[in-house]
Amino acid sequence: MRIPIADVTPETTEAEIIGWVHEVRDLGGLAFYIIRDRTGFLQVTIVKKKAPETVVEATKETSRESVVRVFGTVKATEKAPGGRELIPDTFEIISKAESPLPLDVAEKVPAELDTRLDNRFLDSRRPRINAIFQIRSNITQSINDFLFKEGFVNITTPKVVAAATEGGTELFPIAYFEKEAFLNQSPQLYKQMMMAAGFEKVFEIAPIFRAEEHNTTRHLNEATSIDVEFSFADHNDAMDLVEKIVIQAYESVSNNCENALNTLNVDLKVPENRFPRITYSEAIDIAALGIEEDISYGDDLSTAAERAIGDEMGEHYFITDWPTSIKPYYAMPFEDQPEICKAFDLMHPRMELSSGAQRIHQYDLLVEQIKEKGLSPESFEFYLKPFRYGMPPHAGWGLGMERLIMTMLNLPNIREAVLFPRDRHRLVP
């Protein structure tokens, strides 16, 4: 019966393994086959004069990345990976791989990112790539577990919608029978509607779509957003929660993904329990000292400005108290300073990770803000209706999964953090 490679120890007497042929070293009378499964590597050593003829014949037909089944005796040896080797009694080719391979899974020959993404199924066999997605899986599980323990309800919102969430034009139109429709850019409106439904605490981890024409290393057109909304809360409560979520994700990876982190050569530093909070005005002042371009109050922060502020802060931090004019219509203005709103961005020194706010829950003020943004309240009637029938105060945020992973693992390109990335030029695979 087949056992995982990780369970084959120097004390094991015999084992049957199934995996991919990772490397081959044929020295004439002696051959070494490194077999890989999702749990690790095992060296199969073949002394051709002593090995069964069926084993020798099978290895002659074996190519790298073929799937093989091997059964034999396990011997302890310091020279082999993991301090053990398998001396085969049988060697069966289950599925032969064509040669040459589109890319080198053993990573001795580097491949361009486009080549890797065109052959993602093969690229993901590489231990380093596999490690990224082991970590991503752990982050997803840890965030789900944390939010369930905090009493949040998991919801699913539509990805085909009739109106823009934030009024932007960066939408993917689609054919929906006789009607105009779009791929949703955020679950924002539906999360808020669930506050009127009395759910109080909801979350969703799901795809969002942005038709932004960019070609940067930190943008995707289909991304995964971790979205939260909860009632009887303000922007400070929302910041406290997303702070805990990020720290929880780091702690979970640190505690549970040691092998994956070692494979990636990442020395993970868990953030401190409190992220600094600076106001938008303070952020503008810091940026003005660090960049050559002109920047003034009321401007959105450019990439260069974010980088300058990140260099100064050197850790995760929040930017708070944004001008109402540059945040979405649903951000709650301060009562005594309506030109400033209770919105925030969670930043990593490299980039923005999350955006959130206390939301407007008063119908009249929300309609007024929608008009201020040059939008039509009639287009948002389905969204506005719950605000007329008892909407509690509430707050929430969206956190980018890929950006969280990219910054945590110091990946050079956000496409590394998603199995099948969608950008301006990539639709297949």
- Catalytic residue check, 272: no
| Active-site annotation holder among 126, 136, 210, 415 | 210
Question: Can you read off the two tokens belonging to residue 227?
Answer: 């979205």
* 185, 166 Cβ separation under 8 angstroms: yes
| Active-site annotation holder among 120, 218, 307, 350 | 218
- Catalytic residue check, 128: no
| Active-site annotation holder among 22, 126, 219, 415 | 219
Indicate the SS3 state at residue 158: coil
- Catalytic residue check, 361: no
| Active-site annotation holder among 225, 252, 354, 355 | 355
Q: Could you tell me which of 217, 180, 225, 172 has the C-alpha nearest to residue 397?
A: 225
- Catalytic residue check, 212: yes
- Catalytic residue check, 210: yes
Strand ranges across the sheet with 317-323:
153-154, 201-209, 222-231, 394-400, 351-358, 340-348, 317-323, 277-279
| Active-site annotation holder among 92, 170, 212, 312 | 212
Question: Can you read off the two tokens belonging to residue 42?
Answer: 């095992």
Collect all residues with Cβ–Cβ distance below 8 Å to 253 and sequence separation of at least 6.
135, 138, 139, 142, 260, 261, 268, 408
Q: Could you tell me which of 312, 278, 283, 315 has the C-alpha nearest to residue 300?
A: 283
| Active-site annotation holder among 136, 361, 403, 415 | 403
- Catalytic residue check, 136: no
- Catalytic residue check, 229: no
Cis, peptide link before residue 386, omega less than 30° from 0: no
| Active-site annotation holder among 63, 352, 379, 426 | 352
What span, in angstroms and rounded, lies between the C-alpha atoms of 222 and 63?
36
Active site residues: 210, 212, 218-219, 352, 355, 403
